[in-house]
Structure formats: structure tokens, C-alpha cells
Structure 1
Amino acid sequence: MHQSHAPYRLRWWLALLLLLPVLAQAQDPLPSWKDGPSRTAIEAFVAAVTTEGGKDFVPPAERIAVFDNDGTLWSEQPMYFEVLFSMDEVRRLAPQHPEWKEQQPFKAVLEGDQKALAESGMEGLMKIIAATHSGMSTEDFIGQTRGWLAKAVHPRSKKPYTEMVFQPMLELLAYLRANGFRTYIVSGGEVAFMRAFAEEVYGIPPEQVIGTTFESQFQDKDGKLSIQRLPKLAHNDDGPGKPVSIDAIIGRRPIFAFGNSDGDLQMLQWTMAGSGKRFAGLVHHTDAQREWAYDRDSKVGRLDKALEAAKSGNWTVVDMAQEWSRVYPFEQN
């Protein structure tokens, strides 16, 4: 009897051995993060602040994590995606604005003149954004943004922009939330633009999305109520504007922050300046094969001063090429 059951036991053990890697992967909350210094630092920090009775324990109400968006949660090359949206909007709205044919920087956008567009600088960019982001209700703008995201594709990958998100960062957001953190976006991007997709793509609700804002006003037009967006900047949520927004809107200093550029430096510094155990991380774009490789000399997402601060402050710097087994969700692992 004992011998007759032996083959069955053997098959059972073989099946279990085959299943072990699958079970291990299913239990791994960060499958796209390779074993290495960044993953180790993240897991050690989360374990420390969530272990009740430990010296570094942080109550759930104080577990605030903030993330930049462009270059941190999704790609930002060859140009910030919101800028590409704005230029597409200029082309769409051009028939309603015949004066744009002779007016810079709109003329440069319509003619595809990259040199003239670059020469217009930040002032020209702000004119384009103001013209395409205002003069309508917030609801209409979000609707227009969602319409663009539904049909527009990235110039290199030909994938929708909402698929150009980083799979490891999606896993990190979910991992933090599973451990009692509230996750916020704190970005230089315009707030309504990000709110159009943040909940669906990142699982971050609109009230936890902080960004650059335009002035607005309440309107009652024949009983139709709306919030109208005005062509005047109210707050630039970049650089030192980020900790100002965090203080005004969240009201708590984060204990965990992730960015990728010099525009995130003050947010990371503000996070690390608090008491108790804290975490600051940078996504370092080192993967020219699967994404892009750039830092100090890039015109988009320049990483220079923040990289030096990370070295001196012992922050976590993620080497994308070495530490991520997968960059985008559409990649095979």
C-alpha cells in the first residue's frame, strides 16, 4: 500500500516545486524591482515605520508619501506630455484664432518650427499653456484632456501616453498604500490635466493631486453653474513651490518623497528636514535602450543639483537600467 502511493506523492511534490516560483511572484509586491540597494532601502524603510512598538513607528495618519509626476511616474521625453497636448490643442483651436498664423509662439507650433519655438523659451511656453488651458470650465478642460489621452500616442513608442507609466512605480504606489500610506502627486504639471487620468492610471484620487494652478472664478450663467479657468497663473508648483503647496494643502510634512529632477529638490529637502525616519528617492534615467538616458545636460527633467544633494544626503538613487526588470506595463517581464 505504501509503495502504491509513492508515485502520487512524488508527482505532488514535483507539482509543488513547479508552483513555488509562481507563488513567490504572486506574493512579491514589487516584482519589477530587482534585488538591489533601492529595493532594499524601500522595504527597510516601510518595515521600520510600520512596525508597531518599534523606535521608528509612524502612525498611519502621518504616513504621507509624495511623488513628482513627469519623469517619476511616467516618461517625460522627448518633451513633457502636457506640452505635447498643448501644441495639439493649438492646432485644433487654430481655425478659431486666425491671428495665430502670424503670432509667436503659435506660428511656430502651426508651422512646426522647432527653432523658433525653442527661442520663445519659457515665456512662449506659458503663452501656449495659458491659451489652451483657460477660457473654459474645469469640467470642459478635463473632458478635452481625456479625449486627447484616448486617441493620442507617444511619438516613439506609438503607445497611449497613459501606458508610458513606469510599472515599478505603480507597484511602489500600491505597496505603500497597502502599508497604510496616503500617496500624493506633487507636480509642476497643471493640476486639472493630471486629475484627468491620475485616479484611473495611478489609483490616486483628485483630492490627492497637487499641481500648478490657474486663477479661476465661479460663474452662474442663466442657472448653469461652473468654475471658469482664467488665463492667469495662480501658483507654479515647481521647485520651491512644491513644499509651499504641501504645507498649504496636505498640512503634514511627508515622510516619503520621490522625484527625478532639480524641480523636485526642495520637496525632497523639505521631506528630509523633518524629525524621525524619512525617505528621499530619485529616479535616475540611465536606460537608453528601454527608455532614455539623461541627467545633468538635459533640457527636459534636468538632474544636477538634486543628484549632488542625493549623494551628500545619502538619498536613494534608482538606477533604472540596473534596478528595474521592467519599465512599462506593456513590456514582457
Structure 2
Amino acid sequence: MIDPLIVLLIGFSVIGLGILLVAHLFFMDTVQKTRRGMAACAALTLLLVGLQLQHLQHLSSGADLLNSGPYAFMLCAVPAAFYLFSRDVLLPDVPLRLRDLLHLAPVLAAAFLPPNWVAVMSFVVGAGYSVWLARLVYGMRRNVGRFRFEMFFFGLFALIAVGVLALVIALPWTGAPLFYRAYAAAIGVSVALVISVLLIYPQILTDIHEAARLAYANSTLKGVDVEGRLEALNSLMTRDKLYCNENLSLALLAEAMNLSAHQLSELINSRFGVSFPRYIRELRVAEAKAILSRDQRSSALSVGMMCGFGSQSAFYAAFREVTGESPAAFRKKQPTA
């Protein structure tokens, strides 16, 4: 009964990883991406797919994967690819240095270590990167609107990693087959978590990136007429209602205000206490509430489209995020004419 479930998780993760890779490379335009970050994303995806295919091979033939060169390589390369991808999402403006090549050291060391040690080293290094990521996110807590959500999300990943690490340490007593099954299941569950979070909170990468930039970058507003720019922003939002433009981006609004994207992002965060995506979502939801209060006939989809949302799911997610209820529930509370 267990093996069919593992096979199902492997199949799901392989397909899910492919979808996530395509979505990140070609459709997540609101996230600042660099070539090195996209390369790290592709490498991480291909490595995880490769590991899952190796796990499938073990289930079908009983192959001893830990004594396999390709498996050991992928096992040790995953933490480095994870670090490089996470670093690029959070700190894309920080250049890579020569010392960053040290992150590839475990991959080279795998060729000289006993199989059991390769697995232990891989997960210990991965745990170290998880601690680094958690500290980075914790340092952004003042700038992240859903800080508890992000920490809960990372906490689930940490629990999964700790469980697999415990099995790695217990390899001499539990045996490799249990480790292969547990690791395959962990990858499958992790992919399911990522997909679930992106469906519930599509803007998570954008918000985390903005929060990281604001938390760790120097001020870009020196010499800027802050009050004048705030007045211009207020005019563009209240008079022109630019937020109703579905294609409005940080870069487009910054250009309209004669600011750089970084300056506008810092201006909004420092004065309103939210990231740019959250700021726009709140304005769009406020507009939607006004329409829902006076118009009982228009569908929720049409209201969302009028306010700048690209889809019904994005409208519902943002409305619930800001108000704590659905558009339909809000409309029912409004007095009828």
C-alpha cells in the first residue's frame, strides 16, 4: 500500500516541478529575475526530478542508489541550487563573489566520502541553508504583511527536512530503502506545499522580494522631495485610479512619478507600511467594496475586472486577504436599495 502512494507522490512531484519551472521562467513577471537565478531555478528543478526518477528506479528494481555516482551528485547539488535560487529571489541585487563557489564544495566532496556520509552531509548542509533562510525572513518581519504565514510555511519545510535528516542518521539501523521512500515522499509533499501556497497566496514571491530589498538595502530616497512625490502618488491613485489598470507594475508607476522602482517601493513601504503589491491590492479591494455596496447586479468577476484584477481567483484571494471575508459575504451585508 505504501509503495503505490510513493509512486503517486513521485509522479505528482515530477509534473508539479515542471509546471512550477515553466511558471517561474515565463509567467511570474512581477518577480525580479536574473539569469543566474533562472539557471539556479532550472538546476534545482532538474535535480529534484532526477532524484525522484532515481527513487522510482529503486522502487521498480531495488537499485542501491547511495552507491550510485549520479544519485550522490544530485543529493549534494540540491542544497547548493536551493541556496543560489533563494538568494536570487530575496537578494537579486547582491552580486555573486568568488567565495560563493565554496557552496559547490559538498558536490566535489561527495566523490570522496562513504555513501552514508554523503547523505548526512547533504542534509546537514541543507539544514544550514534553511536556518540562513529563516533568519533572512525573520529579519524582514517588519516589512512582510503575512510574516506568520511565511514562517509557518518555512516551519513545515523545516519539519520535513528534520524528519528526513533523522532517517539519514538512522541509516545503519533502518536501512536505505526506508530513506529512499521517505525522501521521495518528502519531495512530493514539499512540491504540494509550494503549489498550495502559490494558489492561496500568488503574490508571496513578490512580497518577500520587496520586503527583503527594503529590509537589507540602503535608503534610496536621499535628495527626493518625498512630500511632493506622495502628493503625486495620491493624485494618480484617487483622481486617475491607475490601480484599476490590470497591467500596472512598480516600474510603470515609478516612471509616471519620475522615480526609480526602488525609490517608489521604499516610499510606499516607509509611508504606508506595506509593500507595493499589497498597497495596490488594498486600493483595488477598497474600490471593489465601493462597487459591491452600490451595485447588486454586477457579478463578482466583473467587479474584480473593473478594479484591476486579472482573474476571479486573484480577486477573491486579495479580497479575503484584506477584509477577511469573500466578496459575496461582504455584499450580503450591504443594505438593498
What's the TM-score once normalised by structure 2's chain length? Answer: 0.22
Q: Which has the higher contact order (CA 8 A, sep 6+)?
A: 1
Structure number with higher strand proportion: 1
What's the TM-score once normalised by structure 1's chain length? Answer: 0.22
